[in-house]
Every structure is written in C-alpha cells, then in structure tokens.
C-alpha cells in the first residue's frame, strides 16, 4: 500500500472511491483496464488518507441531502480496511450528517459496520449492493480467490434482510464457457429469492475486456483453464464486449424469475432507486416481503 492526499473525494454524482486498487484477485476485473490511468500496481493499494476529512467538508457544504455512493471501482472492504478503518470513518460521517448510502462490495467484512448501516437506514436510506457471479463454491474460489465466497455473501444478504436493509445484487460478469450456465444462474437467483433482494442488476450474460484487464484475464485462463484463451481469441478477437452464446436464454430466465418473485430487474429502475434520497420524515421504513 501507499498513502496519498487527494484534492477531492466526491464525484459530480456523489460517488467516491476510498481506496484505489484491490486485493480480491478477481480474474475478470475491469478496474485493471489501462483507460483508468492507474499509475501504480493494481495490488499496491492507493490509500486516500484524507478521504474522511474531504468527505466531511463536502457534506457540510451540500445544501440538500443526497445518496452517497461507494464501491463502483474499488471495493470499500478490501483487506486493508480491517486495519485502517477508512470506510467506517466515512460511514460514520454519512450517518452523522443524515445522508443516504449506496454501497457496493463482495466482502462479508461489511457486517462489521452493520450498526452504522442500520443507523443510516433509520434516518434516510441505506442500500447494500452485493456482486455475485458464481454459485459453485470451488469455481468461485478460482474466479474470485481472495474475497468472500458466494455462499458467504448470501449469508450477508440474509442478515441485511433480517435488519430491514434493502439490497441490490449485481449478477455480473458471467464468463463464457465457464459460468454462463443455467445451473449457475438458477443457483444465484435462488439465493436472491431467499434473501428477498429488492433488485437485480444484470447488463447481460458476458463480460467486457479492455487493454489491461484482458491480459490479466487471459493469464488466469492459461493458469486455471488451459486452452480456453485460444477459444476466446477465436470467438471474440479483441472485442470489448464478450457476449455468451447463451445470453438470450439466460437473460430470459433472469427476467422471468424476477417478475415471478417481485424483484426489480430493470437496470434504470434499480439505479433510480439507489440514487433517490428519502428522509425518514417522508420515507416509510421498507417492510421486506415475508417479514
């Protein structure tokens, strides 16, 4: 890790990355792409040491409350967070100033901050987004080696459900010829149904590959799935969008299942929900189905 002081923390849309880089080791990670101009090794985490200070200054200046987002580019619960606690410091500020939160992670470490998530949700709205890609636990440990397994993330979703905190699951990405199967999709959907998630975000059955993450992904294919890199090259060349041949059928399963169980699966509707700030005065606490 290395520490830096940055000039700002919130984007124009009120998102932030407390860290830059990641140690989860997911073989498909788009954040490795060179277009993001990360000038350090991906696993050499950039720690924005003044992030809490800048966040407090930004929240003080805001005339209207809003949702604060984090986790889109770098997971806020990487291993270093256990020692540094910068994510928790930021959540304390969001809670103290009465803002909402939309936070995305793959890690069960988020449960450490369950008390703050509940406080934020009592005052405004807290939405936890959890990424799930691979139902098979052994395969998950290959694709996402240094982070909570899908089963562990499912347990997190159930705890959030029991604490009346709404959740949105990202079913993404799916790797052609690896986890783009009906069995995988239905396993993940069953988790979402049992956890009573509010919404599911899925842009399609496939992944994106750009310079930087393509090379890393192919290296890992050679390591864990010998011969598959050549199949990718034959099928997709240097395409940015790598769409599974099973895309249409599996998306139909996702859409039909969501409709049958009252899960929002329209991407725009999910994003609108996560960006819409609702104070408790005009916000009835969500009562999740069956609770």
**Which SS3 state, helix, strand or coil, does residue 290 take?**
coil
Is the pLDDT reported for residue 281 higher than 70?
no
Q: What is the DSSP letter of 109?
A: G
Q: Note whether 84 and 45 are within 8 A (CB).
A: no
Q: Which of 222, 139, 138 is nearest to 180 (CA)?
A: 139
pLDDT at 282: 47
CATH of 2-282, one of 3.30.310.50, 3.30.930.10, 3.20.20.70, 3.40.50.620: 3.20.20.70
For 186-238, write each residue's pLDDT tens digit.
999 999 999 999 999 999 999 999 999 999 999 999 999 999 999 999 999 99
Other C-beta atoms lying within 10 Å of the C-beta of residue 4: 12
pLDDT at 98: 96
Mean pLDDT value across residues 22-43: 94
pLDDT at 291: 46
Model's pTM, two decimal places? 0.93
Is the pLDDT reported for residue 286 higher than 90?
no
pLDDT at 30: 95
Other C-beta atoms lying within 10 Å of the C-beta of residue 196: 20
pLDDT at 279: 81
For 54-67, write each residue's pLDDT tens digit.
999 999 999 999 99
Phi, psi of 37, deg, nearest 5 = 55, 45
At a CB cut-off of 8 Å and minimum separation 6, what does 41 contact? Answer: 21
Is the pLDDT reported for residue 283 higher than 70?
no
- Beta-strand relationship, 100-105 and 2-4: unpaired
Burial of 117: CB neighbours in 10 Å, binned 0-12, 13-18, 19+: buried
- How high does pLDDT run on average in the chain? 95
Beta strands in 187-291 (DSSP E): 199-201, 206-208, 241-243
């Amino acid at each position: 890790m290395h520490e830096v002081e940055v000039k700002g923390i919130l984007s124009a849309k009120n998102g932030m990355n407390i860290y830059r880089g990641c140690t989860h080791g997911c073989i498909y990670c788009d954040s490795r792409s060179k277009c993001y101009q990360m000038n350090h090794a991906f696993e050499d985490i950039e720690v924005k040491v003044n992030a809490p200070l800048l966040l407090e200054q930004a929240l003080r200046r805001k005339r209207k409350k809003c949702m604060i987002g984090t986790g889109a580019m770098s997971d806020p619960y990487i291993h270093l967070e256990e020692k540094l606690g910068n994510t928790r410091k930021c959540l304390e500020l969001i809670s103290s100033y009465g803002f909402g939160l939309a936070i995305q992670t793959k890690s069960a470490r988020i449960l450490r901050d369950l008390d703050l998530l509940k406080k934020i949700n009592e005052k405004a709205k807290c939405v936890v987004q959890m990424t799930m890609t691979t139902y098979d636990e052994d395969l998950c440990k290959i694709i996402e080696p240094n982070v909570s397994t899908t089963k562990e993330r499912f347990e997190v979703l159930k705890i959030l459900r029991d604490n009346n905190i709404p959740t949105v699951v990202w079913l993404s990405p799916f790797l052609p010829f690896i986890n783009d199967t009906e069995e995988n999709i239905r396993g993940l959907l069953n988790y979402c149904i049992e956890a009573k998630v509010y919404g599911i975000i899925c842009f399609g059955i496939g992944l994106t590959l750009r310079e930087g993450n393509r090379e890393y992904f192919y290296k890992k294919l050679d390591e864990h799935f010998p011969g598959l890199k050549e199949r990718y090259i034959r099928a997709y060349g240097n395409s940015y969008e790598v769409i599974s041949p099973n895309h249409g059928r599996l998306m139909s399963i996702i859409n039909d299942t969501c409709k049958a169980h009252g899960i929002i699966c329209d991407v725009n509707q999910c994003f609108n929900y996560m960006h819409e700030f609702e104070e408790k005065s005009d916000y009835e606490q969500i009562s999740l189905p069956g609770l």
